Structure 1
Amino acid sequence: MLKPVIGITSGYVKLSAFSEGDYTHKDYLISLIKAGAVPLILPIISGPCVEQYAELCDGFLLSGGCDVNPRFFDQDPLPDCGVFDTERDQTEFQLIDAAIKKGKPVFGICRGLQVINVAFGGTLIQDIGSTLDHPIQHEQKVSRKEGSHRVRLEKESKLYRILDEQEMIIVNSLHHQSIDRLGKGLHTAAYSADGVIEAIDLTENDVMGVQWHPESMTAGGNDLMLALFKYFVAACEKRKRERADISFLN
């Protein structure tokens, strides 16, 4: 059987008046290939194209990027809210809905975790530094391939099992927003010392998200973070086989 095809959501970048378009960091591609998948970058196009994305791909990785438009969790932008992309938000909300309806796994990274939370009715802290009383550093100043702060894993979570049942791990950190109120049906899988939710999962489906960037640690040679991608790709491969078996029987 062919390797599972994983759709990766993209962001929009404008370098100049003559150079603009969809962008995805290469570390996502490196990590998925290492885990045994075929990565496919998905342009930001809401509407009917999303249904075809959901049909074409075996699973979806929601990548990092800009802030989520606060209107989607019933708030106005605060002074420290960053740039957001409403069309990207809408595209990813549609994609999450379509993927879940088709039973296809979803893995959210950084912004991707936040989008999942909002899609399930949760809210976000628009800026950690100006909201929390004693925040740790969530926008690290070292290479994105390096870990910078500790995260404690919940023992009941699947993340704990995936990451060798370690109670504490070191992760990298490149964000200024985070989950505030958790979305319906989602569970906290990890958190940092200042109480920021660092990972979530949905027990009933193959949906999970992490606030850090395991793709860059994986690209830097971290085998523990590679385990996250191997788990995700294996879940996509399993669902792909199940659909193939059903199709054969029919």
Structure 2
Amino acid sequence: MRMNRYTWLLVLTFTLFVHFASQAQDYFKDGGEPGKTYILMAHPTVKNIETMKFLIDNQILFIGEAEIVGIYYSFENYDYSQSVDFIQENELKDFHLQHLTGMLNTDNVYTENDFSNNFEILFDQTLGIFFFGGPDIQPVLYGEENQYAVVTDPYRHLFEVSLLFHLLGGTQNPDFVPLLEKNPKYFVTGFCLGMQTMNVATGGTIVQDIPSEVYGIDDPAEIVQLDKDKIHRNYWQEIFENDRLMTTNFHQLRLAEDGFFRNEVKWKSEVSPPVLSSHHQAVENLSDCWEVTAWSMDRKVIEGIRHRKYPHVFGVQFHPEVTALFQAGDSLMFSPSDQPKTYLDRIGSEGLKFHKKYWRFISKSIQ
């Protein structure tokens, strides 16, 4: 029997709110709680929940009375029962989970699909959303063959790319009306993979491997000889086994003159702020809806983007959310001959000021 559109949407909504108590929470099953405000976070792993809690508890991120709802696709490559247990065991009353289920594939990610109605439900009930770092996006989603990508969580990417396409629209389907047309002040930000996903969802492409495609080298022994501002993760760990070698690298940013970071984040210092990077991919062709806010020092890697139409939609390639940037932690080395230092020591007082200013801007962007 064929179902009409109304019946089909009812089925989709019901599917969203089916409750599996042992695996997920369906916080919006009854529409949340009247009078409360909510902010979404994609990929709500235990680590990402801990990060959000730290930023809020330490007054780095200010969200007022809003509560956090983590959303995820039921086919993602992560056991979200860990997140359920973590929230319950730590009595995190301001953190909730919402799982979504349905059919997603490369043919329907950039059009109306099983998730469209539920994406709109979530959009209408929330102030904004955070997208976190993670593994490589499958190149088919930006129209390329796989040359260097290591794809370990394809369903997560299908979900987050489709969600961002629904929020922002994209050149893949120009007639599609994005949800932000209803509320242009909705907040969207992403870190590392999050920023890359924002670009892919709107029609952009990805550099599949920075050393190979940007600098023409693929041997870790050659990569580590590059200037540190050209290295975007720590390749020393592929040469030496040492538990004290960090997986990341710190490099400086080149900020757009008279642009986003200068005028809106209010970073007026002449110091090029040091940031933490842990990625081998980057934005390549930028969708026309974005403007660049920052680059690597040699301008070969885009480090920040901002939407041209929606004022509270922006992302960065680096990791401003890492908690070790704001507290004393383990002392680690970049290379075997390096002096061990904490992340906090590596960014220094100016770097700490920059990161706190950026989080203040994020906080003000959530309305």
Task: Name the TM-score, length of structure 2 as normaliser.
Answer: 0.55
Contact 1:50 1:91 in 2 (8 A): no
Q: How does 1:66-77 map to 2 (within 5 A)?
A: 66-77=135-146
The one-letter amino acid of 1:169's match is P
* Alignment correspondent of 1:240: none
Alpha-carbon displacement from aligned partner over 1:49-88 (angstroms, at most 9, x marks no partner): 332322232111111111111111100111x311243322
Q: Which has the higher strand share?
A: 1
Q: CA deviation at 1:28?
A: 3.5
Match of 2:253 among 145, 151, 160: 151
* Alignment correspondent of 2:189: 107
Please tell me whether residue 138 in structure 1 is matched to residue 138 in structure 2.
no
Contact 2:293 2:303 in 1 (8 A): yes
Match of 1:164 among 267, 279, 284: 267
User: 1 CA distance for matches of 2:247 and 2:55?
Assistant: 17
Contact 2:307 2:313 in 1 (8 A): yes
Sequence identity (%): 24
Q: How does 1:193-212 map to 2 (within 5 A)?
A: 193-194=297-298, 195-205=300-310, 206-212=312-318
User: 1 CA distance for matches of 2:188 and 2:205?
Assistant: 19
The one-letter amino acid of 1:158's match is F
Higher relative contact order (CA 8 A, sep 6+): 1
User: 1 CA distance for matches of 2:47 and 2:125?
Assistant: 19
User: 1 CA distance for matches of 2:120 and 2:146?
Assistant: 30
What is the RMSD of the two structures over their aligned residues, measured on CA atoms? 2.5
User: 1 CA distance for matches of 2:252 and 2:232?
Assistant: 11
User: 1 CA distance for matches of 2:314 and 2:143?
Assistant: 24
Tell me, what secondary structure is at the counterpart of 1:165? coil
* Alignment correspondent of 1:90: 158
User: 2 CA distance for matches of 1:171 and 1:219?
Assistant: 9
| Residues 27/49 of structure 1: CA separation in 2 closer, same or farther (3 Å cut) | same
- How many residues matched? 223
Tell me, what secondary structure is at the counterpart of 1:148? strand
Contact 1:10 1:41 in 2 (8 A): yes
Task: Name the TM-score, length of structure 1 as normaliser.
Answer: 0.78
* Alignment correspondent of 1:225: 355
In structure 1, the gaps of 5 or more residues are 12-21, 238-250
